[in-house]
Structure 1
Amino acid sequence: MDDIRMIVTDMDGTFLNSKHQVSPDFPIVYEELRKRNILFVPASGRQMTGITKYFGDIENDMAFIAENGGYVIYKNKELFADRLEPTYIAEIIREIRTIPGATAVLSGKKKAYVDTDNEEFISYISQFYTINEKIEDLTQEIDDRIFKIAVYHPEGSELNVYPVLKEFEKYNLEIVVSGKHWLDIMNKDINKGNALEKLQDALDISPQQTMAFGDYMNDIEMLKNSRYSYAMKNAHPSVKEAACFEACTNDNFGVLKIIKDYLDLR
């Protein structure tokens, strides 16, 4: 295996276990990565603060890819921030309202926005969107840079949401199933893979020097931009097809096991 200079990992279903916990071994592993000048990069559909909250003081030395590639920072400096065209948002929100059981979240730079009265749902999304606000109507223009529209469906987004919303690809938008219950709508070419490329270019790190881990369809471009690409054992079949290697499940902290093997940590 060539010298690795960057390790990038999805969060939910990949780096975190099913209880959204970090492996207790991570601090030891991270210290070894730091000594070897290997950059650790969490990459998620989550809001930026929904990712950084797991890393405490070391976040100042890390890079983060948030909003499925719509927002990238390195050592607390912004490298990239996208903006979803407000013109399309209202039309898409109205279409989402026609889908029984679907709930929309607008994810912005300042905070995330919902217009549901379902307190249980708001509590649930607060683990991903730690700064959020309930507003009267998501079809009204908001004074914020909106990165994406996230759509939740309790019975699954791939079958219940994607078939209805894929028509909005006509507006040059990316419609991607990002989890069992989630679908994300972003500008075309906004994905974790292109965000990773921006980071690689900025730091002069090649795909051959990159290791990546993922479990769902929104991770595929990121895996393709990494020589050492791993699908979790619990990953969607299309992700396993895209990856070169397989790691054990997120509940067995498969990401850490692979990294420890690479670092020869026992």
Structure 2
Amino acid sequence: MQNIKMIVTDMDGTLLHSDHTLSPKFKEIYNKLKELNILFVPASGRQYYSIISYFEDIKNELAIIAENGTYVTYKGEEIFVDELDSILVNKIIERVRKIEGANIVLASKNAAYVESTDPVFLEFFKNYYNKSIQVDDLTKIENEKFIKIAINHPEGSEKNVYPKLLEFEENGVKVVVSGEVWLDIMNTKSNKGVALNALIKKLDILPEEIMVFGDFMNDIEMLHLAKYSFAMKNAHPLVKEEANFIAPSNDEDGVLKIIQGYIDQF
């Protein structure tokens, strides 16, 4: 394996355990990466504030790809924000409201907005969004720009939501299954791969100098960018087909085991 300059990892189902916790082994491994001058990049569908809650003491040392690539920072500096068309956002909201069991999250770079009053969903939602605002009607929010629409369906997003929203791709957005119960809608030009590509160009890093980890379909574009692309053992079958390597599962600390294997050679 050639000299690695950047390690990029999805969070849920990849770096984090299934209970949304970060392994206590992370800090020791991160310190070694820092010594080797390897940039660590969390890349998630999560909100920026949710991501940095796991890395509060080192957040300004990282590059962060948040909201599936619609918001990117590098060492505390905002470098990319991609806003959705407000008229289209309202059309999608009206459509999702007709899907039984679905709950909508409107994400801006500042906060996440929800109109659901379902206590089960709201408690689950807190795992992914640290800054949120409850409103009566998502279509009535003023003076805010949205970068992503997230839809949750407890019985599965791929089956219950994706087929009903795919038609909106004709309007210049990308509809992507981002987890078992999550689906995300962003501008077509936005995904983790586009964000990562912009980042590596900014930093003059080559594909063979990147290690990337992921588990779901929203990770595929960034996996394609790296020579050392890893799908987790617990990944969606389609993701395993697209990656060059397989890592142990998230609950086995697969990301950290692969990284440890690399840094042990130094």
TM-score, normalised relative to structure 2: 0.98
Assess if the C-alpha contact under 8 Å between 1:110 and 1:145 holds in 2: no
Counterpart of 1:120 in structure 2 is 120
Counterpart of 1:187 in structure 2 is 187
- CA-atom RMSD, angstroms? 1.1
Assess if the C-alpha contact under 8 Å between 1:105 and 1:151 holds in 2: yes
CA–CA distance in 2 between the matches of 1:142 and 1:14?
36
Residue correspondences, number: 266
Report sequence identity in percent. Answer: 53
Residue 208 of structure 2 corresponds to residue 208 of structure 1: yes
CA–CA distance in 1 between the matches of 2:255 and 2:70?
24
Assess if the C-alpha contact under 8 Å between 1:86 and 1:141 holds in 2: no
After superposition, give the CA deviation of every residue in 1:118-147 in whole Å (9 maximum; x if it has no partner): 233222111211100111111224322211
TM-score, normalised relative to structure 1: 0.98
SS of 1:185's equivalent in the other structure is: strand
Shift of 1:207: 1.2
Matched residue type, 1:104: I
Assess if the C-alpha contact under 8 Å between 1:213 and 1:232 holds in 2: yes
Matched residue type, 1:12: D
SS of 1:87's equivalent in the other structure is: helix
- Structure 1 segments, 4+ long, off by >3 Å, are none
SS of 1:57's equivalent in the other structure is: coil
CA–CA distance in 1 between the matches of 2:166 and 2:146?
20
Counterpart of 1:99 in structure 2 is 99
Deviates more, 1:49-58 or 1:117-126: 117-126
Matched residue type, 2:114: V
SS of 1:17's equivalent in the other structure is: coil
Structure 1 residues 187, 91: closer, same or farther in 2, change over 3 A?
A: same
Deviates more, 1:256-265 or 1:137-146: 137-146
CA–CA distance in 2 between the matches of 1:26 and 1:58?
12
CA–CA distance in 2 between the matches of 1:137 and 1:265?
55
Counterpart of 1:49 in structure 2 is 49
Superposition map of 1:68-147 within 5 A: 68-147=68-147
Unaligned runs of 5+ in 1: none
